[in-house]
Structure 1
Amino acid sequence: MPVETLRTLAGLAPPLRTLFLTTLLFRTGTMAYPFLTPYLLGRGGLDAAEAGLAVTTFGVGALAADLAAGRLLARLHPYALMRGGFLLGAAAVAVVPLLHGQPALITVVLAWGFAYEIVTPAAYAATIAGSPPEQRKVAFSCYRLAINLGLSAGPLLGALLYALDPYAVFWANALCVLAAAAFLHRRGARRPIADAGGGPGHETRPQGPVRQTRAERTRFWSVFGLSLPIQLAYALPSVFVGAYVIVGLGLPGYWAGVVFTVNAVGIVLFEVPLNIRMARVGHLATLLSGYALAGTGFLLMALADTGPELVVATLVWTAGEIVVFPGLLDYVSRLSGPAADRNMGLFSGGVNLAFIAAPQLALHLSAPGHPGAPWAAAGAAVCAACLLLLAARTNPYTWHKEEPCSSVT
């Protein structure tokens, strides 16, 4: 599997290789955010309520970026928007250690969240522009691989730096983001997205506002709504696994690390190869299988009592993650046509809404005697969305009828 993944990455079109390496560098540099709360409580001089508000503004800034992305991409090249996000983000994260007081920190963290998130819809636009439709599922898998590799290494490096000097982690983060900007500027100038040569059926980026029919709008909002249970479910592990394993089940803390490791290794080893094999599988079959695996995996998490049972459940919902997220990104990009830039930004906004809502939902649903309730609710919601997908495909206002791919290379 690793050999096949490396071969696939080497075979990407030059603009997509540039995007992969830029994303890997950028996400590896994302080492300061996991330590923002302890920094604000310690060196930042904020109390718990003030620090919580400051961290929340990061999500607000990210959501604002998703809402603004469509308009910005109508005027700017995706690479230009990514570079702008890198530069603003580097400036924001670098000055955090220099600030004191809630108003100044909230303002900078808000800008940091906007700059960090604006890169995502711009990268989606670059992926769409750099890949023909029949290869897009694999292209999105490669993009997600860069994210997961970077986010696996970044927090580890950040932990080491934070232990040495809390200020250093912010400045190292800023330097990595500047390096990503410089790399994209150098490689992007030589290998612009227009060189990708998408071939027949390859969408070109529109200039100016795009009008959609009523059916096109309702198809997008249908899949957006049906994706929210998936987004919420997969936001849950990052905020709830530790509490569930240690407090809810009374297991040793290392089992929480095992869950995260199994998930990360599964994605790195299998996401790209599996999506290569599923490149010709239709959207409905892809999404139904992904939703079914996800729903089953989270229901198994609710039923787990031992470490090995947690591992089995994690393997199941990791398989669902591998299938469903590239499938959703591919489907949204296909149904959106010329409005892809705007719709992909809105879709990314759903991800941020889920990460904002997931901690609150987990807190309210979990209770003594019912530690698995958040997992059960997530699994049930995903299974219900799976059934609604079956119903949605019967109506042209809720389902995009795909055209068959003639080839996959």
Structure 2
Amino acid sequence: MPLETLRTVAGLAPPLRTLFLTTLFFRTGTMAYPFLTPHLLGGGGLDPAGAGLVVTGFGIGALAADLAAGRLLGRLHPYALMRAGLLLGAAAVAVVPLLHGLPALAAGVLLWGFAYEIVTPAAYAATIAGSRPEQRKVAFSCYRLAINLGLSAGPLLGALLYALDPHSVFWANALCVLAAAALLHLRRERRPAGVGPYADTGSGGGTGNDAAPHGTLRPTAAERTRFWTAFGLSLPIQLAYALPSVFVAAHVIVGLGLPGYWAGVVFTVNAVGIVLFEVPVNIRTAGVGHLATLLIGYALAGAGFLLMALADTGPELVLATLLWTAGEVVVFPALLDYVSRLPGPAPDRTMGLFSSGVNLAFIAAPQLALHLSAPGHPGAPWAAAGAAVCAACLLLLAARTHPYTWHKEEPCTSAT
């Protein structure tokens, strides 16, 4: 499996290899955010309420970026928008440790959140433009691989730096983001004059410059309905997969009274499963229709989170984690692939709006966990998430019966 993944990444078209490496540097640099709250409570001089408000501002800035991405991608090439976001993000994260007081910190972190998130829809657009439709599910899985590798290494490095000097983790973060921007710039500039960044993929998405790659025709009512159907049906999935990062530790240690290392085991099983299996699984399922793939992914996710609600021992938690990790491996590349193929004048620009669901979920997940978890019912948040995903799976079956709510894709037979 690892060798197959390495061969797949090495075999990506040059623009997608550049995107993979840029994303790896960028996400490895995501080492300061996990330590933002202790910084705010310490060096930032805020009380818990103020720190919570500032951290929420990061999510609000990220959500604003998703909502603005469509218009920005209508005017800028994805590479140009990524470079701007990386440079702005590096500046913001470098300044945050120098700020004091609620207004300054709130403004700096909100700007940081905006710059951090604007890179994602631009990367989605670059993936769409840099891959043929039959390659896109694998391309998205490779992009997600870069994210997961970076997010696995970054916080570990950040923890070491934070122990040495709390400010250094912010500056190391900024340097990694600058390195990502430099790599993207250098790979872009090496191309011969007049050759678009996606010209060698045969996708027809390149423009030869940093102009917008698509027109500005308004979508039809059917196209809008299909998009919002996909968006709505994805929200339970986004919410369910936002829950582990905010609730696993509390559930394992406080809710179940298990040793804390079981929380680490859950995170490790999830991370290793994604890194080892996501790309190979999506290579093998590239020719499977979106409906079948999504139904399998939703079913695995729903079963996994319902089992999390019932699990009360470490091995049971691992079994549940294997199930919802299998769902994650299948469902997220399939969702991105399906939305990217929805008919419309500029489908890549809808990806920013679609990715706003991730930020809505991360804002809502802590509230869900807080309000549903209670003594005697530690698994209630998992049960709610699993039930919501199962309900969305049934709604997906219903949506596929009408052309206004489901786009029937053309057969796809090859990923190469």
Give the structure-1-normalised TM-score: 0.98
For each residue in 1:213-244, what CA deviation from the matched residue of structure 2 results, as whole angstroms up to 9, or x when unmatched? Answer: 10000000001000000000000000000010
| Higher deviation after alignment, 214-223 or 181-190 | 181-190
1:121-200 alignment, distance < 5 Å: 121-191=121-191, 192-199=196-203
Aligned to 2:77: 77
Q: Give the deviation of 1:404 after TM superposition.
A: 1.0
CA contact 2:297–2:330 (8 Å) conserved in 1: yes
Aligned to 1:392: 399
- Provide the C-alpha distance between the structure 2 equivalents of 1:321 and 1:56, rounded to a whole number of angstroms: 26
CA contact 2:66–2:352 (8 Å) conserved in 1: yes
Aligned to 1:35: 35
Aligned to 1:117: 117
CA contact 1:137–1:326 (8 Å) conserved in 2: yes
- Provide the C-alpha distance between the structure 2 equivalents of 1:367 and 1:129, rounded to a whole number of angstroms: 47
- Answer yes or no: is 1:2 the counterpart of 2:2: yes
Aligned to 2:411: 404
Aligned to 1:210: 217
Return closer, same or farther for 1:337/1:203 CA change in 2, 3 Å cut-off. Answer: farther
Q: Give the deviation of 1:208 after TM superposition.
A: 4.7
For each residue in 1:145-169, what CA deviation from the matched residue of structure 2 results, as whole angstroms up to 9, or x when unmatched? Answer: 0000000000000000000000100
1:95-110 alignment, distance < 5 Å: 95-110=95-110
CA contact 2:57–2:106 (8 Å) conserved in 1: yes
The amino acid across from 1:194 in the alignment is: Y
Q: Give the deviation of 1:26 after TM superposition.
A: 0.4
Q: What secondary structure is seen at the aligned counterpart in 2 of 1:30?
A: coil
Q: Give the deviation of 1:405 after TM superposition.
A: 2.0
What is the aligned length? Answer: 408
Q: Give percent identity, aligned residues only.
A: 85
Q: What secondary structure is seen at the aligned counterpart in 1 of 2:216?
A: coil
The amino acid across from 1:24 in the alignment is: L
The amino acid across from 1:104 in the alignment is: A
Aligned to 1:254: 261
Q: What secondary structure is seen at the aligned counterpart in 1 of 2:346?
A: helix
Q: What secondary structure is seen at the aligned counterpart in 1 of 2:342?
A: helix
- Provide the C-alpha distance between the structure 2 equivalents of 1:227 and 1:196, rounded to a whole number of angstroms: 33
- Provide the C-alpha distance between the structure 2 equivalents of 1:66 and 1:341, rounded to a whole number of angstroms: 13
Q: Give the deviation of 1:406 after TM superposition.
A: 4.7
- Answer yes or no: is 1:287 the counterpart of 2:294: yes
Q: What secondary structure is seen at the aligned counterpart in 2 of 1:335?
A: coil
The amino acid across from 1:93 in the alignment is: V
- Provide the C-alpha distance between the structure 1 equivalents of 2:358 and 2:206, rounded to a whole number of angstroms: 24
- Provide the C-alpha distance between the structure 2 equivalents of 1:239 and 1:193, rounded to a whole number of angstroms: 38
User: Moved runs in structure 1, 4+ residues, more than 3 A?
Assistant: 202-208
**Gaps in structure 2 of 5+ consecutive residues:** none
- Provide the C-alpha distance between the structure 2 equivalents of 1:282 and 1:102, rounded to a whole number of angstroms: 50
- Answer yes or no: is 1:19 the counterpart of 2:23: no
CA contact 1:301–1:310 (8 Å) conserved in 2: yes
1:367-382 alignment, distance < 5 Å: 367-382=374-389
- Provide the C-alpha distance between the structure 2 equivalents of 1:393 and 1:325, rounded to a whole number of angstroms: 18
- Provide the C-alpha distance between the structure 2 equivalents of 1:19 and 1:314, rounded to a whole number of angstroms: 29
Aligned to 1:353: 360
Q: Give the deviation of 1:27 after TM superposition.
A: 0.3
Return closer, same or farther for 1:92/1:14 CA change in 2, 3 Å cut-off. Answer: same
- Provide the C-alpha distance between the structure 2 equivalents of 1:268 and 1:406, rounded to a whole number of angstroms: 25
Q: What secondary structure is seen at the aligned counterpart in 1 of 2:277?
A: helix
For each residue in 1:310-335, what CA deviation from the matched residue of structure 2 results, as whole angstroms up to 9, or x when unmatched? Answer: 00000000000000000000000001
Aligned to 2:64: 64
CA contact 1:75–1:207 (8 Å) conserved in 2: no
Q: Give the deviation of 1:197 after TM superposition.
A: 2.5
1:332-351 alignment, distance < 5 Å: 332-351=339-358
- Provide the C-alpha distance between the structure 2 equivalents of 1:339 and 1:219, rounded to a whole number of angstroms: 14
Q: Give the deviation of 1:196 after TM superposition.
A: 3.6
Aligned to 1:271: 278
Q: Give the deviation of 1:408 after TM superposition.
A: 2.8
For each residue in 1:289-345, what CA deviation from the matched residue of structure 2 results, as whole angstroms up to 9, or x when unmatched? Answer: 000000000000001010000000000000000000000000000014432233100
- Provide the C-alpha distance between the structure 2 equivalents of 1:179 and 1:89, rounded to a whole number of angstroms: 12
CA contact 2:216–2:345 (8 Å) conserved in 1: no
Give the structure-2-normalised TM-score: 0.96
For each residue in 1:178-204, what CA deviation from the matched residue of structure 2 results, as whole angstroms up to 9, or x when unmatched? Answer: 11100100012235532243358x798
- Provide the C-alpha distance between the structure 2 equivalents of 1:19 and 1:196, rounded to a whole number of angstroms: 15
- Answer yes or no: is 1:319 the counterpart of 2:332: no
Q: What secondary structure is seen at the aligned counterpart in 1 of 2:302?
A: helix
